[in-house]
Amino acid sequence: MKKRSPLPYAVLAVGIIAAGILGYQTRSANAVPADAVTMTAEADGFAGPVKVSVTATADKIYAVKVLENGETQGIGSKAIDQLPGVIVEKNSLAVDGVSGATFTSNAIKTAAADALRQAGFDAARFGAEPVQAETTADTAMEIPADAIRAIGEAQGNNGPVKVEIVADKEKIYSVKVTEHQETMGIGDKAAEQLPAAIVAGQSLQVDAISGATVTSNAILEAVRAALASAGLDASVFEHAPLVSGEKADDVVLDTDIVIIGAGGAGMTAAIEAADAGKRVILLESQSMVGGNSVRATGGMNAADTIWQDENAFDEAAGVEKTLKTAAEKYADNAEITGLAKTVQEQWDSYRLAPDGYFDSVELMELDTMIGGKGINDFTLVKTLAENSAGAIGWLDTIGAELHNVGSFGGASVKRIHRPVNAEGKTTAVGAYMVPILEENVKKRENISLLLSTTAEEILTDGKGAAVGVKASGETGNTVTIHAKAVVLTTGGFGANLKMVEQYNPKLKGFMTTNAAGAQGQGIVMGEKAGAAVVDLDQIQIHPTVEANSAHLITEGLRGDGAILVNSEGKRFIDEVGTRDVVSAAEIAQPGSFAWLVIDQKMADKSAVIQGYIKSGYTVTGEDAAKLAAAMGVDGAAFSETLDSWNGYVAAKQDPDFSRTSFAEPLEGTLYAIKVMPGIHHTMGGLRINTKTEVLNGEGQAIAGLFAAGEVTGGVHGANRLGGNAVSDFTVFGRIAGENAAKLAG
């Protein structure tokens, strides 16, 4: 709302420059002996190969230089400026990466290690990680001389998936994914895990990796293609996987804190608790981390941040509309009325002396309360908004930068903070954040991550306090964990369609955008431990789910200027309204679907849109008439709709549906995605307080039991605003980790 001092960032910039200078001084200060060797190598960075030269002897590194790279200026360039000097100064590759530039840092260290190996030196002597053997085949399996090596390819979610196999007519000895463009944190997990499963089971009927079905199927099809190209009969391997039948031993573990669910909230809580010095066991029922969090496409809402100030303020109409809604529809709601009074005062003051970008914690609270129809737990809403800007700063410290700010449905102003890729294009927040959270979890020695381990019961003592968890391991063995605190971060129940129908029968038959693990187990376990629940009937449907694949299409496209048209080629709603309102309007259209229309300018700025195009979700046309034909709608009606909309954009006024968010006109080459509503988020769950303590039916905290994220209820009320889910799991995940650590002593 007001300009913040740029001093901290000026200091940071000076620090970066100084670090770069010191790095080069360190290299030049070392006298390089005559027997030193200089070698070059490269490794994949964020935006492509990073080429590095290293000058060294067997026991000392004298120089490291990045020769070529395509990394992002201001992000990857930080690692290029700083890391070589640190490696030389420490004479080690076992140094921390540069915050916010993890991929580039790892590329520099990997390339430097390879250069040392090429020079004939022991890279491990300098702290390099050992070269990992391929895990795609049974390394104990002897490969006969007549085995055939072959290549196969199939279409994945984002493009071709290529594999290399080694096999004969009776056995598959090796499967390796050699090339793919699948989503990090989702599809790449299938590329990591499925090849070994194929070899171990000697089967093409192995289960797909949960949450990565399309990529899994592509790998299997590519293996079939490779077998065919080798002249081998793939049907030999079309049987149930071979299994050893061995059950692992039951195990009993002791820890300070056990966290159930390794999605965004769980990993955030684990990092905070570990950084407080506590031992943490993090359980995940699926074979990979991420849950629903990895599927988040938009960004994270945060109020009154320095990154908002980088935008010109042009959202006066949005603020006025929200204040009008509060006065006309919520005059009997004390919290909303009080917030509206405060925001009105802030708005009047800003208009008298505009300074920076206008937003406030109270305006975020007001938007969230109105979006939730006023039934939200106001104390939780305040906690969410008041800690949102700090959460953006915390994410910076672990290497997750959300600095691009845009518009989103239900928000009065530009508030959603998004990541950008190496080309400066916005990208999906979940696929960006989850790998960074996972990396932070794995590098903390006091966090133990147990995948494919399903919690079944919260253990309690004689007084009802939570003291541990009973779980089932991958082979069916019992895993018992004793702990001083238990944190539930299991997510909602959006993938449990029977449970959805139980609480909201009107949603029977709807598709879902949820990950397979969103089954509501945490809610059931919490209730058995005495927890109260709230708002379980409040289940959100998202208006833009791709009609054929059930893939979530980000709300950010509408915030960036997209429109929705029906099968008659006409707009029918304010596209950036709340999800419940837009979904209801969409259901009321002929066929209960719509077309989301974007243009080439938007596609050029968004890696997300480019992914939709590659995945085949779009139809396209060089102009309105040709796009109308591709959509199968009336050309004259659609052309009139588009002309009217572009006029509204120019005038910054929408007389048809009172939309207040405008970007640029839609023109040139156009694209459209067929969308319909799908089950997206369950607002209800366990009742918690602002400390994330789980409450019983009397409103008292259950000792030792905490919860965060979608497993909880209250903060979102009757409808969640886009961008508030990431805020929710980050803010309350941090609070849960901090308070569980305090309880653990």
Report the catalytic residues: 579
Q: How far apart are CA 522 and CA 685, in angstroms?
A: 9
Q: How far apart are CA 703 and CA 691, in angstroms?
A: 12
Exposure on the CB side of residue 735, measured as CA atoms within 13 A: 25
H-type helices in 139-203, by residue range?
A: 187-201
Phi-psi region of 53 (alpha: psi -120 to 50; beta: other; left: phi over 0): beta
Spatial CA neighbour of 576 closest among 322, 262, 323, 261: 322
Radius of gyration of the chain (CA): 27
Spatial CA neighbour of 308 closest among 438, 399, 407: 407
Residues 499-516 as b/e (b if ≥16 CB within 10 A, e otherwise) read bbeebbeebeebbbbbbb
Q: How far apart are CA 223 and CA 194, in angstroms?
A: 11
Residues 194-203 as b/e (b if ≥16 CB within 10 A, e otherwise) read bbbbbbbbbb
- Please tell me the chain's helix, strand, coil percentages from 3-state DSSP, rounded to the nearest 5: 40, 20, 40
Q: How far apart are CA 574 and CA 559, in angstroms?
A: 11
C-beta neighbour count of 132 within 10 angstroms: 6
Instruction: Measure the CA angle with vertex 439, ends 136 and 89; round to 5°.
Output: 105
Q: How far apart are CA 183 and CA 158, in angstroms?
A: 7
Which residue bears the tokens 């390819």?
A: 153
Residue 32, classified by CB atoms within 10 Å of its CB into exposed (0-12), middle (13-18) or buried (19+), is middle
Q: What are phi and psi of 647, to 5 degrees?
A: -65, -40
Q: What are phi and psi of 223, to 5 degrees?
A: -65, -40
Spatial CA neighbour of 330 closest among 371, 382, 377, 363: 371
AA identity, residue 468? G
Instruction: Measure the CA angle with vertex 579, ends 574 and 585; round to 5°.
Output: 55
Question: What residues does 468 pair with on adjacent strands?
Answer: 459, 482
Q: How far apart are CA 545 and CA 680, in angstroms?
A: 9
Torsion angle defined by CA atoms of residues 546, 576, 718 and 323, in that order, rounded to the nearest 10 degrees? 180
C-beta neighbour count of 223 within 10 angstroms: 26
Residue 390, classified by CB atoms within 10 Å of its CB into exposed (0-12), middle (13-18) or buried (19+), is middle
* Number of residues in the chain: 745
Contact status, residue 362 vs residue 698, Cβ threshold 8 Å: no
Q: What are phi and psi of 348, to 5 degrees?
A: -60, -40
Coil vs helix vs strand at 43:
strand
DSSP state of 661: -
Contact status, residue 41 vs residue 24, Cβ threshold 8 Å: no
Q: How far apart are CA 340 and CA 237, in angstroms?
A: 65
